Amino acid sequence: MAVFKGAGVAIVTPFTKNNEVDYEMLGELIEYQIANGTDSIVICGTTGEASTLSHEEHLECIRYTVEKVAKRVPVIAGTGSNSTETAIYLSTEAMKHGADALLLVTPYYNKATQKGMILHFTAIAEAVSIPIILYNVPGRTGCNLLPQTIATMFRNVPNIVGIKEASGNIAQVAEIMQLTDGKIDLYSGNDEMIVPALSLGGLGVISVLSNIAPRETHDMVYNYLEGNISGSRELQLKLFPLINALFCEVNPIPVKKAVNLMGFEVGTLRMPLTEMEPANVERLVKEMQAAGISVNKEF
């Protein structure tokens, strides 16, 4: 059985004015997401600024989220690292805290050969007993997890069950599905490519967009899965300008601004990320309003 079908939100991490994790606001965001149809909470991913969280903060965010969600939807914990030892530590601790599955990004900066990535992910998988979704995002990590490599691990490592594919290359998505006989749990890692990924057998998306449009993102996936292809396509195209606005600066700068604009006090970003440029904020507000999202806070 798949970890989830539908839209999993790569949830932002709120900070207080003192730049500490705001767990109370995180709880509010989780409740908002579940109330609006989100199918899974993905905590401590790229959008959650995991790279600037201490290990203690990272694991406390996972523990808090698992407790707050209370099995209403699956909780997927981002525990990847460019250090295999660190990834094993975070992964085993996340499992102890009750995470339903793990999201493991490819090793970044030091990168790795395809053989090295097989050894890396296999070592982590063997240290835990919960499902693993691999995360391929070469634009951020500098290395591309190739379809044959993914297929090799899917065949040989029992708890490697899925892939969040964010290469932006639809031909690569097709090759992954062809080499795994369509059996791997495929999630789009690009909000602008949800419908194309579903057309190749995908089960859903791990989404930035879901932070501000959870119901619409859920509906986009489930319309497709239930046979309403035109309804799914209509939502993809309607939300396309908003998706572009959410990535007009590096993620999660725009989406965190958008969540603040909706009235949730999620605070600023941790350096080296900086606040959004005013012209881009205006563009974001325009596209949020065009998509029917209320902007409740002065910007």
Give me the pLDDT at residue 296, please: 81
Task: Look at the pTM and tell me if it is higher than 0.85.
Answer: yes
* pLDDT of res. 1: 85
Cα–Cα dist 99/131, whole Å: 10
Residue 262 within a domain: no
Q: What is the mean pLDDT of the chain?
A: 97
Catalytic residue among 68, 164, 256, 257: 164
Whether residue 196 is preceded by a cis peptide bond, meaning omega within 30 degrees of 0, is: no
Q: Tell me the three state secondary structure of residue 87.
A: helix
Checking if the pLDDT of 106 tops 80, the result is: yes
What digits encode the pLDDT tens for the residues 193-216? Answer: 999 999 999 999 999 999 999 999
Active site residue 164: yes
Q: What is the total residue count of the chain?
A: 299
DSSP string covering 121-159: HHHHHHH--S-EEEEE-HHHHS----HHHHHHHHHH-TT
- By CB neighbour count within 10 A (0-12 exposed, 13-18 middle, 19+ buried), where does 17 fall? exposed
Residue 251 lies in a domain: no
Which residues touch 27 (CB under 8 Å, ≥6 apart)? Answer: 64, 68
135 is catalytic: yes
pLDDT (mean) for 148-163 = 98
Residue 28 lies in a domain: yes
d(CA 284, CA 187): 26
The pLDDT-based confidence of 299 (bands split at 50, 70, 90) is low
Instruction: Identify the CATH number of the domain in which residue 146 sits.
Output: 3.20.20.70
Q: Which of 64, 68, 135, 257 is catalytic?
A: 135
Residue 256 lies in a domain: no
The total number of structural domains that make up the chain: 1
In a domain, 247, yes or no: no
Domain that holds residue 147: 6-228
- 8 A C-beta contact, residue 132 and residue 102: yes
pLDDT tens digits, residue range 58-89? 999 999 999 999 999 999 999 999 999 999 99
For residue 209, being part of any structural domain is answered with yes
Per-residue pLDDT at 297: 63
Whether 185 is covered by a domain: the verdict is yes
